[in-house]
Structure 1
Amino acid sequence: MTHARTLPIRLAPQPGEALDSWWEAIAHRLGTTTGDVLASMGLLPRGSARPVDSGILRRLVTLLDADQAAAITAAAGASEGVQ
């Protein structure tokens, strides 16, 4: 996994919002794809196959590890423990 960089926008997840929905909302605000957002957060290599079609997105949502969660927190400027 690469180091996450800070995204140029801050968009807090809505209460109870699923990770994939939040990532899609961030992508929409940035005018890019969910795959680009995940790559910018260090969760996917750049140029990966489309995350939904390949099943990567499902694995990230259901099997997120602590390092990945930390990368998301750093890149999105989110508070730890946001659920």
Structure 2
Amino acid sequence: MSTTWFRAVDVTEAQRARWDAEDSGRLVQSLREERGWTRTRLAKLAGTSHAELAGFEMGRTVPAQPLLVRYLNAMGYGPR
């Protein structure tokens, strides 16, 4: 019997980066919407453009971490 199971070692770095980007985008979008903020407002506070934030929220930005930190800091989630 041959069954294929998902194993972490079978996942490429590119796949991990894509999942990270998608998860990061969803997190920022969720937090932004909880606050009732527009993309324009968050982008301005983070020093990015509306288009860049939209792409980030859609998981198109790889690597995601640098922008994730910027957006979280702009929403007040940074170090205190």
Q: Same fold by TM-score, threshold 0.5 exceeded?
A: no
Query: Which of 1 and 2 has greater Rg?
Result: 2
Q: TM-score, normalised by structure 1?
A: 0.39
Give the number of the structure whose residues are more often helix, by fraction: 2
Point out which structure has higher relative CO (alpha carbons under 8 A, 6+ apart).
1
